[in-house]
A = this chain, B = another copy of it.
Amino acid sequence: MTQPKKDESKSALVVSAHSADFVWRAGGAIAKHTQAGYAVHIVCLSFGERGESAKLWRKGGNMTEEIVKASRREEAMAAAEILGATVEFFDMGDYPLRADKESLFRLADVYRRVQPHFVLTHSLKDPYNYDHPMATHLAQEARIIAQAEGYKPGETIVGAPPVYCFEPHQPEQCEWKPDVLLDITDVWDKKYQAIQCMAGQEHLWEYYTRVAQQRGVQAKRNVGITSTKNIVYGEGFQSIFPRVTEDLA
């Protein structure tokens, strides 16, 4: 785990099934909040060594799972560094990702340690990728454990941080509907830099640039054309829980 660099009062937790997911799907949100002083911590449940490292495997020769994992770890650490976040690897394996109680408690302990003000993770469904909803399930259940007074009694429990599902690769096929659009225009440079760390998935760079541009146009549209806000890049999120507020505007 890379060392945290900040000691501010707010924090966030990102639960990523594979080691690159947090970049494509939440890199803007991470950079935006670290820039605002949040300590953002990322947990990569696996390296995506089997299912999301095609380019490495195609090199053939003496490629091994260990080499792939090391390479993916390096990429993820570089990306997290750029985004200003800390990152931790659970190395649970991918394709399939499976969670036992031990992993669940390990993640609950991260919640207790990080005390996040919000949580980012995958969509609830994804017919193309079963590791993704599995990660969401784990992130949700670990949050519930971390809230329980009876789990490691005496420790400080966590509150009720909002949980957001970040954007899957084919949103409509995953029954994912964004109800929050985050303006990431001022941190786009960082996100694109982080994206470029993912050398093994270059075919996705332009895809996720366009995703950001589309969400930017939509965010612009949803604040209204009379707004003076100049939104160019955005990220979409789907809330799991209702938000509590004092102002509806």
Footprint of B on A, CB under 8 Å? 10, 12, 29, 32-33, 36, 38, 49-51, 53-54, 57-58, 60, 63, 65, 68, 95-96, 98, 101, 104, 117-118, 120, 127-130, 137, 140-141, 144-145, 147-151, 153-154, 157-162, 164, 169-173, 175-183, 206-207, 210-211, 213-214, 217-219, 221-227, 229, 231, 234, 236-237, 239-249
Contact = CB atoms under 8 A, between A and B. Distances in A.
A181 B153 CA distance: 31
A10 B249 CA distance: 9
B51 A144 contact: yes
Contacts of A29: 248
Nearest to A48: B150
For the complex of A and B, 8 pairs with smallest distance between CB atoms: A159-B224, A50-B150, A160-B224, A117-B249, A159-B226, A57-B149, A51-B148, A54-B149
A172 B173 CA distance: 10
Contact of A140 (B50, B130, B158, B224): B130
A241 B127 contact: yes
A24 to B, nearest CB: 13
A173 B238 CA distance: 12
B248 A242 contact: no
A172 B180 contact: no
B173 A242 contact: yes
Nearest to A93: B101
Interface core residue of A144, A149, A173, A217 (most chain B CB under 10 Å) = A149
Contact of A151 (B50, B210, B224): B50
A41 to B, nearest CB: 14
A148 B50 contact: yes
A236 B225 contact: no
B150 A51 contact: yes
